[in-house]
Amino acid sequence: MPSLRDIRKRIKSVKNTQKITKAMKMVAASKLRRSQEALMAARPYADKLVHVVGHVAARLGPDDLEKFPLLRHHPSPRKVLLVVITSDRGMAGAFNSNIIRRAERFLWEEKERHPEIRLAVIGRKARDAFRRSGHKAQEHVGVFESLTFARCKEIAASILKEYEDGNLDACFIIYNEFKSAISQKVIVEQFLPVVPAGRPVLTAGVEARGEQAEHGKGAAVDAVDYRYEPGKEGILEELVARHFTTQLWRALLESVASEHGARMSAMDNATRNAGEMVAALTLKYNRARQAYITKELMEIIGGAEALK
């Protein structure tokens, strides 16, 4: 039987923890709102770009495709880069472990099809996890401290360069998609070569966004060519590269918003659990106190009885 003082100490420490989790929840909630706004603001650009790339790609003939490695699909991609996006910080429930588990499954499952899978990690948690399991990876850490488009562009440019140099046949990205403040979804998406229009994805159960599916269809139907200025080549090359950068940017923003959402619900749970624990401990404390009083009374009565 723990003493009264021990229980009192426990209650106090649980209450303190509860205060911390509550504060973290508040912080996550406000960060969530900001990152959600950033995500919403980025979506029109990303969607428009998908739209434009879809338009243009639908109008390309097979000879054109030959000229654009970024659009050309490799018959049997050997050298594959897997970009894993996690957060820098933990305390967000299963947010990071879901991603890492999915990435490990990818490495395992795709080993046969792509004999050479390399890793690139964005976020400290993925880096730590893959270091522990002894995988080599390109590491991008500290991206989320101040997330800027310029930083994203650097990462994208380094991947694009490898692709253009022929060191890569394909590039996949694993990230958490922001569904709502309380739900995230792990997504595996092929980013290179660019899959025009719609977002056909490797994982099952990912619906192509309705709007984009429509774009794809529309583009195929009205096969009117554009007039390009300067030439088609110059434009497309840049367009597709920028498409990649933008998609990466979107993935990063999705991940950040999801992270805060996940942390918010994790901390909400923790706060609730702490509350329950305080209630249980208080009950125990009162019982112990009563038992103590009773015991003392009995002793006094016993003592008085003996004196008679």
Residues of this chain that interact with other proteins (CB under 8 A) are 38, 41-42, 44-46, 48-49, 51-52, 55-56, 149, 224-230, 234-235, 238-239, 242, 246, 249
- Alpha carbons 70 and 59: distance in angstroms, whole number: 16
Whether a cis peptide bond, with omega within 30° of 0, leads into 193 is yes
Name the residue among 91, 116, 72 with its Cα closest to residue 17: 91
Burial-class residue 109 by CB neighbours within 10 Å (0-12, 13-18, 19+). exposed
Provide the terminal-to-terminal Cα distance of the chain, rounded to the nearest Å.
Answer: 33
| Residue linked to tokens 């490797």 | 202
Between 205 and 230, CB nearer to other proteins: 230
- Alpha carbons 193 and 199: distance in angstroms, whole number: 12
CB of 277 to other proteins, least distance (A): 43
Give whole-number Cα distances, 214 to 33, 54, 162, 296, in Å: 30, 10, 33, 81
- Alpha carbons 98 and 291: distance in angstroms, whole number: 48
Between 250 and 263, CB nearer to other proteins: 250
CA angle 53, 55, 59 (to 5 degrees): 110
| Residue linked to tokens 């309705």 | 210
| Residue linked to tokens 């994982």 | 203
- Alpha carbons 302 and 293: distance in angstroms, whole number: 14
Between 119 and 240, CB nearer to other proteins: 240
Between 230 and 302, CB nearer to other proteins: 230
Between 38 and 288, CB nearer to other proteins: 38
Between 8 and 242, CB nearer to other proteins: 242
**Three-state DSSP state, 175:** strand
Residue 74 sits at φ, ψ, to 5 deg, of -75, 135
**Total length of the chain:** 308
**Three-state DSSP state, 192:** strand
